[in-house]
Amino acid sequence: MNTVRRVILPSRLTLQVLLGLSLAFTVLLAAGIPVAVAGPVGLGLLAVLALGAGVDLWRSLRLFARVGPRVERWLPAAFAINVSTELRLDLVNEGPLSWRLTVFDDLDPLFDFEGLPVALTLGAHTRSPLRFRVTARQRGLATLGRTQLMWRTRAGIFDVRQTVGEARQLRIYPNFAALSRYAWLSGDRRLAQMGIKNFVQRGQGTDFRQLAEYRRGDPLRHLDVKASMRHRKPVVREYQDERDQCVMFLLDCGRRMRADEASEQQRRASHFDDALDAMMLLAYVALQEGDEVGAMTFGCDPRDRRDYAPRKGMATLNALMNQMHDLQPGPHHSDYLAAAEDMSKRLKRRSLIIVLTNFRDEDAPELRPALQLLRRRHLVLLASLRETALGVMADQPIQGTEDAVSVASAHLLSQARQDAFARVVERDRLSVDVEPQALAATLVNRYHQVKRSGLL
């Protein structure tokens, strides 16, 4: 049960009255009235005011406890990072008295907010809804504390600050916008707006889908003789991409993924958030295709390590998101080889393994043997996030010597990175090195490419 905490403060009216009495006492003394006369008068007035204030406070506290307003809080089912969400507080006054209130919700520092505090007069027998917006700046667990009310006593002598309601623990998830947008666009065949290519080809794949009437261009080897004789027209077998395959994510949570190019103007997420968003989008796509999806982390503190075994069904997406939503990259070194050995022991079935990391030249001696180990049994896609700042610097106009040096350095660093990446992936045309905002669409396109070509 929550204890009631109160802070009692003098109101502005009380301070003005006390200031007026002080000025009046000063004027009396300046006019030559003796202290022996003015003092008892002032003390008498203060005693009367103190008695009235005590009665007002005692009466107001009793009334507020008996017929004071209550707060009902309405929260959404989930919060998403960098998404503005509307919250609602209902102030309910079922009593016969009106109250002057100032309302503030005790928000976690992870939230930016607008619309608070709110000052209002709550009439008798009324319900007043208050709406304000919050934006989460970081994934994970957050606390929404109790609601703070500042209410005025009946005579207006005191302001009482009091906490009401209950604290709630909230989960802040990755941004769902990419998932909803993909679901909507895929239904309307407009995935090109996200940079995702449409690879639909009739009759391709290895799993039987349905019988269909023959059309010009269909392979004759798919002709079903018995069905054609029965329907007295050419009928072919249609196939779809093989289902029941496995997609496994290997997510780097080490110091490489702490790169953060976010700014107040862009409101972009960190590289790790972009990687997590891309992972969730591809997980959604793969689950829709009927594949299994799993994930394993590396490069983090052993206590924070996550290992989600591959599963099918759209419920897997929610379970995977609950497992990963509060992950944060740490200062640890990412041991690629140890992660590859662990993955090889755990995952016996041939799968598509997607390694999400932030590649550096000095990682090549360790990353290359790790990829070779995984490729003995699995199809491996290395997805590396490239800093946007390099591209911005390389494309900036040259207006002087310093600009020329900056542009040349950016091109040199980019080329060195490309060369090192090419050496690590060893002519693998599946792996990608892209800027964070392009990662999600690129991974979905690569996944479709794997499915359509039968590489897995």
- Token reading at 66: 């008996």
Give the C-alpha separation, 128 to 197, whole Å. Answer: 50
Q: Do the domain assignments include residue 6?
A: no
Q: Do the domain assignments include residue 2?
A: no
Are residue 234 and residue 159 in the same domain, yes or no? no
- Please identify which residue in the block is written with the tokens 């010597």: 401
Are residue 211 and residue 281 in the same domain, yes or no? no
Q: In what order do the strands lie in the sheet with 84-93?
A: 70-74, 84-93, 126-136, 111-114
Q: Are 384 and 361 in contact (CB under 8 A)?
A: no
Q: Are 130 and 147 in contact (CB under 8 A)?
A: no
Q: Would you state the pLDDT for residue 24? A: 81
- Does 117 sit behind a cis peptide bond, omega within 30 degrees of 0 on the bond before it? yes
Are residue 156 and residue 223 in the same domain, yes or no? no
Q: Are 213 and 260 in contact (CB under 8 A)?
A: no
Q: In sequence order, which residues have a C-beta less than 8 Å from that of residue 333 and are 6 or more positions away?
A: 254, 255, 299
Task: Give the DSSP letter string of 173-240.
Answer: ESP-HHHHHHHHHHHTT-GGGGTPPP---TT-SSEEEEEEE--TT--GGGB-HHHHHHHTS-EEEEEE
CATH code of the domain covering residue 169: 2.60.40.10
Are residue 148 and residue 294 in the same domain, yes or no? no
Q: Do the domain assignments include residue 48?
A: yes
Are residue 155 and residue 227 in the same domain, yes or no? no
Point out the domain boundary residue: 30, 49, 66. 66
Q: Do the domain assignments include residue 3?
A: no
Q: Which amino acid is at 156?
A: G
Q: Do the domain assignments include residue 91?
A: yes
Instruction: Determine which helix (DSSP H) or strand (DSSP E) holds 102, and give its type and residue range.
Output: strand 99-105
Q: Which of 388, 383, 382 is nearest to 414 (CA)?
A: 388
Show pLDDT as tens, one digit a residue, over the chain (456 residues): 456 678 999 998 888 888 888 888 787 777 777 777 777 877 888 888 889 999 999 999 999 989 989 889 888 877 888 888 889 999 999 999 999 999 998 888 888 998 889 999 999 999 999 999 999 888 888 888 888 999 999 999 999 998 888 888 888 888 766 565 555 445 444 455 555 555 444 445 555 566 778 777 777 777 777 878 888 888 887 665 556 789 999 999 988 888 776 544 445 567 888 898 889 889 988 998 889 999 999 988 888 889 999 999 989 998 998 888 888 888 888 899 999 999 999 998 899 999 999 988 888 888 999 999 999 999 999 999 988 777 777 777 887 787 787 778 877 887 878 888 888 888 788 899 998 888 888 898 899 888 888 787
Give the C-alpha separation, 301 to 317, whole Å. Answer: 24
Q: Which of 376, 288, 299 is nearest to 331 (CA)?
A: 299
Are residue 184 and residue 265 in the same domain, yes or no? yes
Q: Do the domain assignments include residue 4?
A: no
Are residue 98 and residue 154 in the same domain, yes or no? yes
Give the C-alpha separation, 408 to 389, whole Å. Answer: 14
8-state DSSP, 129 = E
The pTM for the full model equals 0.70
Task: Give the DSSP letter string of 24-60.
Answer: HHHHHHHTT--HHHHHHHHHHHHHHHHHHHHHHHHHH
Are residue 89 and residue 235 in the same domain, yes or no? no
- Token reading at 185: 């666009």
Are residue 306 and residue 447 in the same domain, yes or no? yes
Give the C-alpha separation, 454 to 168, whole Å. Answer: 48
Q: Do the domain assignments include residue 307?
A: yes
Owning domain of residue 42: 12-66
Q: Do the domain assignments include residue 33?
A: yes
Q: Would you state the pLDDT for residue 248? A: 96
CATH code of the domain covering residue 445: 3.40.50.410
- Token reading at 177: 């916008």
Q: Which of 195, 175, 191 is nearest to 183 (CA)?
A: 191
Are residue 163 and residue 290 in the same domain, yes or no? no
β-strands 118-122, 99-105: how paired? antiparallel
Residue 259 neighbours by CB distance under 10 Å = 18
Q: In sequence order, which residues have a C-beta less than 8 Å from that of residue 115 and are 6 or more positions away?
A: 130, 131, 132, 133
Q: Which amino acid is at 2?
A: N
Q: Would you state the pLDDT for residue 150? A: 93
Are residue 326 and residue 404 in the same domain, yes or no? yes
8-state DSSP, 304 = G
Tell me how many domains the chain contains.
4
Are residue 417 and residue 280 in the same domain, yes or no? yes
